[in-house]
Chains A and B, each alone.
Chain A
Amino acid sequence: MTDIDIAHEIPLAAQRPPVISTGVIGWLRANLFNSVFNTILTIIAVYLLAITVPPMIRWALIDAVWNAPNGQACRGAGACWAFIGEKWRFILFGRYPYAEQWRPALVVVLFIGMILASCDRRMWGRRLLLLWPAGLVLIGILMWGGVFGLRYVETELWSGLPLTLVLAVIGMVFAFPFAILLALGRRSQLPAVRMVSVAYIELVRGVPLITVLFMASVMLPLFLPAGFTIDKLLRAQTAFILFAAAYLAEVVRGGLQAIPKGQIEAADALGLGYWRRTRLIVLPQALAMVIPPLVNNFIGAFKNTALVLIIGLFDLLNTANTALTDANWQGFAAEAYIFTAAIYFCFCFFMSRYSQMLERTFNRGHRR
């Protein structure tokens, strides 16, 4: 009897979920206080934030000095952003002649534009092969000058962000073909070719970049015939290319190894020779597969350019360091390094996000 009664009863009106499981409180309970351990963690994290963040905000914003004629007037409890206001052009463009600094600025814009264009998948292919040589020639004209009424600027004076970009981008562009040859060499059937490739890759990957840079700056002049000199920038650039190629070669090898054997056999069956098989069948598939790690490698190369300050080139980090030595503006290391770090961060963060996005798109087909 009772069963039937219940069945005939009018259903209760829908009730709102309990207050503590929805809205802000519900979110807090689910994400911050869902267990004893998490509650303790949250309390510790909030405490740590409370003792570190307010002093940092006070230093960076509230107590900061935004305008000051010199370092003395700027010294206080907070950050001296006036130092950056005074020095930003030097940090960005360094010793490049002041009146001509629109040229490196344009070069930076060009580099960023070319990188952005290369990120667009619709551009991949022949169009990029036209864009890059044209862009690099234009960059060369702008940096060196000496034609079209532009004043000639020797490489000694190249500095700051343009130099960092030149080292990283040109380094990667030239390292890439070399890396492909090394990777092919490492997988070659010919023992001599394979051994030389393995020896080169492992040797370079086993030593720090510093030693390669030292070698380029100290030993390269010894290697060359007497009376034959090459300038410092080219030496560092060579070191970068030789170093990056070894790492890139391993990335490319990863792609080569992932090609199914059937592809190669099919190419052989079609009567393609080694080079045509490699160029038309193997490389297009292998390279497309390794684009995300290639981008990661590029981030590494970009960060590695900061090492050239050891051999006395004025990259972005070194110009920031040099700006610190001004007698009128002493003791603002934190401000200069934060400014520089922010620039590096913007480039690297963008590229790492881009590589993550590519990985997601590439994996789409492999996911269930």
Chain B
Amino acid sequence: MASETAAIGVQPSRPAPWRDPRLRGIALQVAFVALIAAIIGFLAYNTTVNLRRQNIATGFGFLDREAAFGIGETLIAYSPADTYARAFLVGLTNTLYVSALGIVLATILGTVMGLARLSSNWLVAKLAQIYVEAFRNIPLPLQLLFWWGLLRGSAPSPREAWQPLPGLFVSNRGILFPVPLGDPAYWWMAAAFGVALVIAYAVHRWARRRQMETGRQFPAGWLGLGLAIGLPLAVFLAQGAPLELEWPVLRGFNFAGGTVVSPEFGALLIGLVIYTGSFIAEIVRAGILAVSWGQSEAAMALGLRPGQRMRLIVLPQALRVIVPPMTSEFLSLTKNSSLAVIIGYPDLVSIANTTMNQTGQAVEGIAMIMAVYLAISLSISLLMNLYNRSVALVER
């Protein structure tokens, strides 16, 4: 008792400074930051010295110089007389194009395969499992080289091109298919499609409100689908059905007309889609399995049809599990598109590599690639996080 009363009123003695957690924390952080700064400073100093010794000018001035190398596939106008900056832009658009297309196709393939693995049909489930196990366990560069070898090396010359469907040619110059010739009717059809979407949305909102108020249902989904197909079709027929296709024709040693998918682009897209699709299939499967069977039974007890059960009960809950890992698959597909450099598709990394070899501006080139990929990664994360917020569990 005596010691307790003695302790009251006496200020707790401050610990020695080297025992004070707060002071220790500050000291540790100062030392840590100093260490990091010293390492970065050391590397930066070495780099400047080395660059000066090799007579390489630093800075991004080289971007205004003439690139003087050709690029096989471009989405925007480009000639070797253009600047390095323009070449980078070509690479960036190619990267974005193949990634966007790949993400859409891989999601479709992965979802189909994930559902197929859960199918009650034994054969379909087994085939989907074989697909997933085979393609998930083989490195992507190997798959890319394989597809590229198949399209470029094993495919026949244009003169003996395979023709799996009339008008579709597969040769070592790529995959060719006919395209419709431009016609003003197509613009009208696009406009009709837009109008159909607006009407469908309005009907959907009206039907939803009516169902909330009166409980009566209205097949808004089917009406919307009918409008989206029917309206453009009606315009198409009203305009006299101008279906004139530009067919690929063999001229000399190569094809003319039609649209061509180069072996490089084809191999890259096929490889990325099949590889990423096998991961997405597993994510979709796990997501659906994560919804407990009781939910489905409850839905059945309420008398929901299988389609409604999936759409209204299972999918909203599965999406919560699916979306976050799906985001990282989309990110890895985008980053994996940089493997284009192996098979010679002119993506950002491949063009930056050529630029670095020509100019020696390695630091700037790599900094630019990193900045671009970081920007892409952050944008995809941001978009998917927004979407995730809309499907996430709302807790009170």
Contact = CB atoms under 8 A, between A and B. Distances in A.
A222 B46 contact: yes
Nearest to B28: A190
Contact of B342 (A196, A223, A310): A310
A206 B377 contact: yes
Interface stretch (B129-137, B180-188, B224-232, B234-242): B129-137
A321 B142 CA distance: 10
A310 B139 CA distance: 14
A358 B33 CA distance: 40
Contact of B341 (A38, A190, A310, A337): A310
Interface stretch (A12-20, A101-109, A112-120, A345-353): A345-353
Interface in B31-77: 32-33, 36, 43, 46-47, 49-51, 53
Nearest to B36: A196
A340 B142 contact: yes
B154 interface: yes
B149 A42 contact: no
A303 interface: yes
Interface in B334-373: 335-336, 338-339, 341-342, 349, 353, 356, 362-363, 366, 369-370, 373
B221 interface: no
Among A196, A307, A309: residue with most chain B CB under 10 A: A307
Contact of B120 (A34, A206, A214, A341): A34
A215 interface: yes
Contacts of B153: 331, 333
A56 interface: no
B119 interface: yes
A306 B339 CA distance: 11
A31 B120 contact: yes
A46 B127 CA distance: 11
Interface string B196-208: 0000000000000
A333 B353 contact: no
B133 A203 contact: no
Contacts of A222: 46-47, 50-51, 362-363
A211 B142 contact: no
B245 interface: no
A193 B120 CA distance: 52
A258 interface: no
A41 B127 CA distance: 12
B46 A345 contact: no
B138 A345 contact: yes
Interface residues of B, number: 54
A258 B1 CA distance: 43
B53 A226 contact: yes
Contacts of B338: 208, 210-211
A228 B366 CA distance: 22
A212 to B, nearest CB: 9
Given A189-B25, A208-B373, A218-B362, A341 B339 contact: no
Interface residues of A, number: 54
Interface in A239-258: none
Interface string B144-181: 01100110011000000000000000000000000000
Contacts of A193: 28-29, 32
A345 B50 CA distance: 43
Contact of B349 (A205, A210, A348): A210
A320 to B, nearest CB: 8
Contacts of A219: 47, 362-363, 366
A75 B353 CA distance: 37
Contacts of A32: 121-123
Contact of A309 (B140, B141, B150, B154): B141
Given A210-B341, A211-B373, A344-B142, A192 B366 contact: no
Among A208, A209, A306, A333: residue with most chain B CB under 10 A: A208
Contacts of B124: 38, 41-42, 45
Interface in A37-78: 38, 41-42, 45-46, 49
A91 interface: no
A278 interface: no
Given A210-B338, A307-B141, A334-B154, A192 B46 contact: no
Interface of A: 31-32, 34, 38, 41-42, 45-46, 49, 189-193, 196, 203, 205-211, 214-215, 218-219, 221-226, 299, 303-307, 309-310, 317, 321, 331, 333-334, 337, 340-341, 344-345, 348-349, 352
Closest 7 A/B residue pairs (Cβ):
A348-B137, A333-B149, A306-B139, A31-B122, A208-B335, A192-B29, A303-B139
Interface of B: 25, 28-29, 32-33, 36, 43, 46-47, 49-51, 53, 119-124, 127, 133-134, 136-143, 145-146, 149-150, 153-154, 335-336, 338-339, 341-342, 349, 353, 356, 362-363, 366, 369-370, 373-374, 377-378
Given A189-B25, A203-B370, 11 more contacts: A38-B120, A196-B32, A206-B378, A208-B339, A211-B369, A218-B362, A218-B366, A306-B139, A309-B141, A333-B146, A333-B149
27 contacts: A38-B124, A41-B121, A41-B123, A46-B123, A189-B25, A192-B32, A196-B36, A208-B336, A208-B373, A209-B335, A210-B338, A211-B373, A214-B369, A219-B362, A222-B46, A222-B362, A225-B46, A225-B49, A303-B138, A303-B140, A305-B139, A307-B339, A309-B342, A333-B154, A337-B142, A337-B149, A341-B143
